[in-house]
Amino acid sequence: MKKLIIAFAFLILSSALFAQEKTKFQQAMGSTLGKMATAKTADEYQAIANTLARIADNEKEEWAPVYYNAFITTFRSFETENKVAAAALVAKADPLVLSTLELETVKADKNIQSEIHTLLAMMYNARMMENPMVLGAKFMPLSAQALGTAAGLNADNPRVWLLKGQNLFYTPEAFGGDKVKAKELLQKALLLFEKEEKQEAQNFMPRWGKGQAESILKQMGK
């Protein structure tokens, strides 16, 4: 669960800001994101995912509950031992995440679209983990395509460069991995994370990833 805790650390401040909003939806999301920031066990994360699913059912024009529900499912899939079951859960979430791209509020905001495509890339990576040698040929190009789309929509999205660098870092050189290039991309991501931190969090926009970039760079001898 350590990776989940690192990933959700950003929510402590963001959720506090969101909770000050007045609408029922914003209050529910703010409270739930706050719980995500402090959750530590699988049961706690599952309870949060269930809450997000209920919010999504009640707020069908909102992208955020679907996004964060899929985010939890995807991150947990990397840590579970049962990769087959985990991949099935991520696959189930895939059409729900894709459907958010059809929402009018999402169509009008390229930054949100970029975040959704970035999440889809991570979901393809997660589904590949069921059997990387067999499924890599299917999901690696899909992940790369999603990240390319995300970068085209918002080149300043640090999570795009985090995942691009992460993919190169964990892919064996024989299959296209490149740790030198990975380091460059992760350093770029880190600079964009620092820029992002200076901007006010709003509209439940994602802020995760800086801890992951720092962790991988530390392994590489940043």
Calpha distance 197→179 (Å, rounded): 26
* pLDDT value for 3: 53
Percentage with pLDDT > 70 across the chain: 90
pLDDT tens per residue, range 27-56: 999 999 999 988 888 899 999 999 999 999
- How confident is the prediction for the chain on average, in pLDDT? 90
Alpha-carbon distances, residue 83 vs 62, 76, 77, 134, 141 (angstroms): 30, 10, 7, 14, 20
pLDDT tens per residue, range 14-31: 544 444 546 899 999 999
pLDDT tens per residue, range 145-163: 999 999 999 999 999 999 9
Q: Where are the alpha helices (DSSP H) in the chain?
A: 2-8, 11-18, 24-38, 42-58, 64-79, 83-100, 104-107, 110-128, 132-153, 158-170, 179-197, 210-219
For the residues 181-185, what does the mean pLDDT come to? 97
For the domain made up of 2-219, give the CATH fold: 1.25.40
**pLDDT of residue 202 exceeding 70:** yes
pTM for the complete prediction?
A: 0.90
